[in-house]
């Protein structure tokens, strides 16, 4: 049974106080404004929960496992580690649709038409689905119970990535619901696999993974979301605009989580953060970074221009 969050039910209200802080239930669309469903087979650890979310092919299940694991982690029920040898899958579980095609085969449409707006929301929903899996992949890959204590990441590192996974699940769910309201659905259009592929070369190196996923790919979202938001507002779609505002605010936090732990890892290895970032990006990311950059938002997240300016196509 789902426990509804209502102000007239005292027991669910008290249970909801901490959960509300974590989930921000009012930002989810129905029917997810409630505590997560208990899983038939609860994970034995955060790592196992992350692997279960990654493996889920059914997207309702992927979201619900994400919500449940986040809830259990924040309630202190789960430890970090797990079965020695448990490994995340090379590819996340996915439904048969959408079909994955090369980026050049995706049609570009103006968002002034409803079809164009649906294509944009579908593309962002696909990015958010990848983002759920990328957050869980960081947790599953780098929660190593065998690591020596000076190589283990502190619990607060996992707090950050569990929150990221939960927020990505919220973003995906909101966009998926909006697509239905507009007469479409996630899976109706083609998508590409670029995000997952861009991250995979860094599966062995957490510092490189943080450079590429939050500090390149998610920071790019900070650059482009304000202009997308302006375009959505210009075509008078306040419901979609409200979702983009939530995404933009949350993504700033995701880049901040990445920047904080990237600096932490550099300091632990005696490396200079900005120079190390540039070395890793040149090694693991194809092509220069495209300006314009949202310097203000990037700085607020702790990603200062000294990190990325030298990698910009404008400086080469």
Which residue ranges make up the site for Fe ion (CB under 5 A)? 128, 131, 168, 171, 218, 251, 254
Closest CB 218 distance from Fe ion, rounded Å: 5
User: How remote is the C-alpha of 267 from its chain's centroid?
Assistant: 25
Q: Which residue is nearest to Fe ion (CB)?
A: 254
Q: Which is nearer to Fe ion, 117 or 170 (CB)?
A: 170
Closest CB 187 distance from Fe ion, rounded Å: 19
Sign of the dihedral through C-alpha 107, 113, 114, 118: positive
Give yes or no for a contact between 277 and 208, defined as CB atoms under 8 angstroms apart: no
Q: Which is nearer to Fe ion, 119 or 134 (CB)?
A: 134
Q: Tell me how many degrees the CA angle 187-192-194 measures, rounded to the nearest 5.
A: 140
Closest CB 171 distance from Fe ion, rounded Å: 4
Closest CB 215 distance from Fe ion, rounded Å: 12
Q: Which is nearer to Fe ion, 144 or 186 (CB)?
A: 186
Give yes or no for a contact between 189 and 97, defined as CB atoms under 8 angstroms apart: no
Q: Which is nearer to Fe ion, 254 or 298 (CB)?
A: 254
Closest CB 40 distance from Fe ion, rounded Å: 28
Distance CA 307, CA 275 (A): 7
Phi, psi dihedrals of residue 312, rounded to the nearest 5°: -75, 145
Q: Which is nearer to Fe ion, 218 or 237 (CB)?
A: 218
DSSP string spanning 96-127?
S-SPB--GGGSPP--TTSHHHHHHHHHHHHHH
């Amino acid at each position: 049974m789902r426990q509804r969050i209502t102000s007239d039910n005292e027991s669910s209200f008290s249970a909801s106080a901490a959960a509300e802080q974590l989930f921000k239930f009012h930002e989810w669309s129905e029917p997810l404004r409630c505590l997560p469903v208990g899983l038939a087979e609860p994970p034995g650890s955060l790592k196992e929960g992350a692997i279960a979310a990654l493996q889920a092919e059914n997207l309702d299940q992927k979201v619900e496992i994400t919500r449940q694991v986040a809830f259990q982690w924040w309630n202190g029920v789960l430890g970090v580690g797990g079965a020695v040898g448990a490994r995340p899958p090379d590819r996340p579980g996915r439904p048969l649709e959408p079909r994955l095609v090369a980026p050049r085969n995706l049609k570009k449409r103006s968002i002034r038409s409803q079809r164009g707006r649906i294509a944009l929301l579908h593309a962002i929903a696909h990015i958010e689905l990848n983002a759920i899996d990328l957050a869980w992949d960081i947790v599953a890959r780098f929660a190593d119970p065998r690591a020596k204590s000076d190589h283990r990441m502190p619990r607060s590192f996992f707090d950050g990535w569990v929150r990221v996974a939960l927020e990505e699940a919220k973003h995906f769910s909101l966009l998926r619901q909006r697509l239905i309201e507009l007469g479409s659905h996630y899976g109706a259009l083609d998508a590409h696999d670029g995000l997952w592929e861009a991250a995979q070369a860094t599966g062995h190196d957490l510092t490189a993974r943080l450079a590429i996923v939050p500090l390149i790919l998610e920071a790019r979202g900070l650059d482009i979301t304000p202009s997308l938001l302006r375009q959505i507002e210009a075509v008078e779609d306040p419901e979609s605009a409200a979702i983009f505002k939530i995404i933009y605010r949350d993504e700033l936090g995701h880049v901040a989580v990445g920047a904080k732990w990237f600096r932490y890892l550099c300091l632990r290895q005696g490396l200079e953060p900005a120079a190390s970032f540039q070395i890793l990006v040149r090694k693991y990311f194809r092509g220069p970074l495209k300006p314009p950059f949202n310097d203000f938002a990037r700085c607020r997240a702790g990603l200062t221009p000294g990190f990325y300016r030298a990698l910009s196509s404008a400086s080469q």
